[in-house]
Amino acid sequence: MAEATGRQLTGWDAATWRTAAGDPSLRSTVVALVLLDHAPSWKRLRARVNRLTCMVPVLRQRPIRGLFGVASPRLATDPDFDLDLHLRRMRLPGRGSWSALMDEARRLSLTDFDRDRPLWEMVLVEGLPGKRAALLLKLHHSIADGQATVLIGLSLFELGPQPNPDEPPAPEPPVAEDSSQQDVSLADISDNVRRGLAAAERIVEVAADLVRGTVTDPVTTWSSALATLASVGRFAAVPDGPLSPLMTERGTTYHFGAFDLPFAGLRAAAKSRDRSVNDAFMAAVGLGLERYHVRHGTLADDLRFNVPISLRGDPGDRSAQASNAVTIARFTLPVAGLTVDERMEAAHARVESWRREPALRLADPLAEVSWLVPLPVLAQAARASDVTTSNVPGPPIPLYLAGARIVGMYPLVATIGAAVNVTMVTYDGSAFVGVSADDRAVPDLHDLLEDLRSGFATVTDVPVGPADPLPKPAQGDGTPKARAVRAEGASGD
């Protein structure tokens, strides 16, 4: 029964599923747009993706539910898994264009998953200028965060145009079994009882520690306990609304945009100020958003940022083993009238302050408690954020897919309640930035992209690629370096 009933989504994974299923404005899709120098071999690509589903079992697992429908779904191997229902190919009409590709990525993102099958789709898009092609990989956020998406990609990609030498064979496809709703319900009850007993044991342990500490060192013990409670309060606080006087509306649709820039410029800007790449990234986003507000004749002294903080590799937190090994820090960040140095310092201070929060290590238990919170309250908290930023390190070397070289990796993430989502993935010496903007909050995405590109150009002092990164037929080879050269003088202040 255990094999047939799989595992139950818990913690952040379960909370992500619940909010996405309950409110269309909180749709949780991750789309990775992989730009290729030419169309890959379809036969090799299909074999490669089939191998990937054997290497990453969650790609063959479907949601299953019990009789009562009150628990989060379980993920179990789909006995009717059919690769052709998840992988397809298409050609853009006419000569193709970047805007048409973005529209296709948007349609893919805004179309809900078939929740009776594994939670992913992949589309090979052909017909781009210069004989380029693109692969769109769509994942539900409940089964993968940004870093997990990169790790999935590394199991799919190759080191050269030929198949990887000495690559170990993929394991056999997992054996799938049918399960009845009664079996699923019993498994849910068993898991819930086990988690409840574990939580009760933990409460007893904490109470015993408090009693011992009260006797041996009452001041330190209760100071730590009260600090943890205060941290939980800050973590769970529901803001009144967004801080931006401009990006106030929220809807159920969004549009995508993207650009790239040399990663060395961003890294050098951070290093010269003894700050991290993430500090420089957030400074550039804040500057771009300030310029967007000024463009519209208004100012925002502070904006509310969502910043995922990775727990992957943290041995002290079991959530590091989850599909979403992150927690979300939500804080205000000054954006108006600051120098680049001040912006980096502010970002650094806010993120480091959150890393020290005791509640950070309680992310999964707090996500479990969120099942007791009405969904409209969770939605209000999500919509109170102005921008979500995420910085994901990717492979530093060139990679290939079924014979085609990868020339770009653009992360396109749903807004999930915020007005804007800006996500960056680094690859082969370039930083690829994907932007999603709520259609009601940002009706002029083109202007926002120009201001964000300007912000990155100012922070890095290097040319930033255009908002349409596809090469013109007679201009260059379409690599990030060539695009950056063509963009020189066309972006930034």
Q: Which domains does the chain have, with CATH numbers?
A: 2-173 (3.30.559.10), 194-236 (no CATH), 254-391+422-487 (3.30.559.30)
**Helices 181-216 and 218-236: angle between axes, nearest 10 degrees:** 140
Query: Using one digit for the tens of pLDDT, what is the confidence trace for 173-210?
Result: 888 888 888 888 888 888 888 878 887 888 888 888 88
CA angle 343, 467, 347 (to 5 degrees): 15
Query: Using one digit for the tens of pLDDT, what is the confidence trace for 234-289?
Result: 777 778 889 999 999 999 999 999 999 999 999 999 999 999 999 999 999 999 99
CB within 8 A of 159, min separation 6: which ones?
Answer: 397, 399, 400
Element (H, E) at 280: helix 277-295
The whole-model pTM stands at 0.87
pLDDT of amino acid 466:
92
DSSP state of 141: T
pLDDT at 69 over 60: yes
Biggest distance spanned by C-alpha atoms of the chain: 79
- Among 121, 48, 130, smallest CA distance to 88 is for 121
Integer distance in angstroms from the first to the last C-alpha of the chain? 63
Strand 29-36, strand 133-140: pairing: antiparallel
